[in-house]
Amino acid sequence: MTTITTTSLPNLLHRGKVRDTYDLGGGLLLMVATDRISAFDVVLPTAIPEKGAILSRMSAFWLRKTAHIIPNHFIAMADEPAPPGVRLPPLSPDIARRAMIVRRAQRVDIECVVRGYIAGSAWADYKATGTILGRPAPKGLREGDRLEKPLFTPTTKAEAGHDLSMTHDEVVGMVGQARAAELEEKTTVIYNFARDYAAQRGIIIADTKFEFGVLDGRLILIDEVLTPDSSRFWDAAAYSPGKSQPNYDKQFVRDWLNSTGWDHEPPAPQLPPEIVQKTVQRYKEAYARLTGETLSS
C-alpha cells in the first residue's frame, strides 16, 4: 500500500492537518488528502496508508449525493478527465487519486458538528455536568444512546491547538442571525439524509462535522464530508448502548492513544503496525459499505 505524507506542487495555498491545498487559478483549488492522521487536534507521527484516497473519494461520493440539499465546491476527482478549461500540474497517479478539484470559496470558520447519538466529548461532558456541551439533556442517558433529535454543537476551527465549543450567541456574533440559522438547518438536514442512507447499509452515523463556505453570496458545502476522519461510523448489527461501540472510524486510534496515557498534547506517540493495519481495514470497510465500491490501488 502506498503512503503519501506530504506533497510538493506549485502554488501551495494551505497545509492543514491532513490536506494540502493548491491554487489552480481561475477560482479553482486542488485539494489533496494525504495519509496523515490527526487525533485530539494533533497530527500523529505515523501515517495510515491509502487513507487519503479513501477520504477524497468518500467525500466526492457524498458531495455528489447531497448536491440536491445544498450546492458544494466539488468539480471532479483529479484522476478523472479534467473538465474544460481546468489545467492541472503534473500529478503522480498516487496523488491524483487523493485529490479533488474544487471551487474556491470564502470559508466560514466554524466546525458545524451534529450529534445523533451521545459519544465522545459529548458523553464526557454529560457525565460531568448532566448537559451536552452546555445544551440541556434528558436524565439517564447511557453512552451511545440515540438522541431524540440531532443536536447542533458547533466549535471553533483552530489553526493550532484544540477546537472550542461555541454557544449559539457566539455563532450569531460571528456570522449573523440568518447565516447561523442556515448553518444549523443545513447541517441537520444533510446529517439526517446521510444517517438514513447509511442505516440501509448497516452503518450508524453517530455524529459528524461539516464545513461551509460562501461563494457568490450563497452558502455551499466544502472540504471533507462524512468520512471516517470526520464522523463516527458504528456497526449497526453490533450496536448496544451503554459502552463504546464497534466502529469503522478514527475512534479506534483515539482509544489506543488514550490507553497509552498520552495527554493529548504534542508530540503524539507512534502508532504500532497492528493499529495502523486495523485502522486501514476499518476505513476500507466503511468506504465499501457506504459507496458500494472497493477501493482500487
Cα–Cα dist 41/17, whole Å:
8
Mean pLDDT (the chain, rounded): 96
* pLDDT tens-place string over residues 41-82: 899 999 999 999 999 999 999 999 999 999 999 999 999 998
* pLDDT tens-place string over residues 265-294: 999 999 999 999 999 999 999 999 999 999
CB 113 within 8 A of CB 153: yes
* Prediction pTM value: 0.95
Cis peptide before 246 (omega within 30 of 0): no
**Domain at 12-104, CATH homologous superfamily:** Phosphorylase Kinase; domain 1 (3.30.200.20)
The hierarchical CATH code for the domain 107-251 is 3.30.470.20
List the one residue out of 106, 73, 101 whose CA is nearest residue 86: 101
Question: Domain extents for the chain?
Answer: 12-104, 107-251
